[in-house]
Amino acid sequence: MAEPHKVVIIGSGPAGWTAAIYAARANLAPVCVIGVPKSNPAPVLPGGQLMLTTEVENYPGFPDGVTGPDMMEKFQKQAERFGTKVVADDVVKCHFDRTPFELELADGETISAHAVIIATGATANWVGLDNEMRLAISGGGVSACAVCDGALPNFRDKRLAVVGGGDTAMEEATYLTKFASMVSVIHRRDELRASKVMQQRFLGNDNAEVLWNKVVVDVLGDGYITALELEDTQTGEKSTIEVGGLFVAIGHTPATGFLDGSGVALNAKGYIDLTTRSSATNIEGVFAAGDVADADYRQAITAAGMGCQAALDAERWLGTKGLA
């Protein structure tokens, strides 16, 4: 096996690339394993959730906005400028019970590292409709993040729909009431799972409603969403509502499957458990950053901040071991 790398970063969203930039500038010669495109059940691309975001207007430094893919391309170029090595493959298994650590790749290769930063993110859970994904990828008015996209001009003063019934859905829907003419929460049951206070916060708005016992069976619109086809879960009756945007708020799944058997502690929701204010996991020398360890904020800027934190923590840890 080749000489161990000082630090290997797994993931290539804002957290991964920011960690790479900081690690590279610290002369740690980082390797960034960025993953490969996947399409089942929903698209997952190197670069993370921002690759499915057309316009980003809330990231500082871009006064005119920037597309998610363009932002990630800039992040990558900046990381590579300082010497980050990029590996386009998936890590399928981690051996953190030995030092240096060993990471198995999908192509059969194994790479070793003294320190590892996990920044694989979390993927939004989608309804799973072809038109839903087509319009989400093309910027056609379908999104999985109201806080990210809801204030965009194309959503203002329109009827917007939110799929979901938990606290996240209520939070997203309440946020959208600031901009929409009406926010229609679509829920498959006759009562919400959200806490009473979150329900009241949403339903206390004049432009808020819940469509009970309904599921979305199709998203209508060619280049941009125009309507939703709904089905009643009790009667099977079909109906159509005109909307100017659809926000899917049925949770996220952290990309931690490859950590099975690794010993990295996860919380009850499957996110990496960071028990302190640092980015350190329960395994010495293994750090985490971004949405893979953050079920609360899930923003590009918070992920980037965590990537910076992880790189600094890794550098300091390597220094204590005489490896930096």
What residues act catalytically? 145, 148-149
By residue count, the chain amounts to 324
Closest-CA residue to 4 (of 101, 139, 124, 77): 101
| Rg value, the chain, Cα | 21
* 303 touches 16 (CB < 8 A): no
End-to-end alpha carbon distance in the chain: 21
* Geometric angle at alpha carbon 247, from 245 and 250, rounded to 5°: 160
Instruction: Please give the structure tokens belonging to residue 23.
Output: 């690690």
Please give the full DSSP string across 165-205, using - where no structure is assigned: -SHHHHHHHHHHTTT-SEEEEE-SSSS--S-HHHHHHHHTS
Among 149, 275, 165, which residue's Cα sits nearest to residue 210?
165
- Phi/psi for 251 (5° steps) reads 100, 175
3-class DSSP state for residue 209? strand
Identify the bridge partners of residue 161 per DSSP, sorted by sequence position: 184, 246
Q: Is beta strand 101-105 parallel, antiparallel or unpaired with respect to 110-118?
A: antiparallel
Helix pair 14-25, 68-81: axis angle to 10 deg: 20
Q: How distant, in Å, are the alpha carbons of 16, 32, 41, 49, 225 from that of 12?
A: 5, 7, 20, 10, 30
Are 184 and 162 contacting, i.e. CB atoms less than 8 angstroms apart?
yes
Determine the 3-state secondary structure of 26 from DSSP: coil
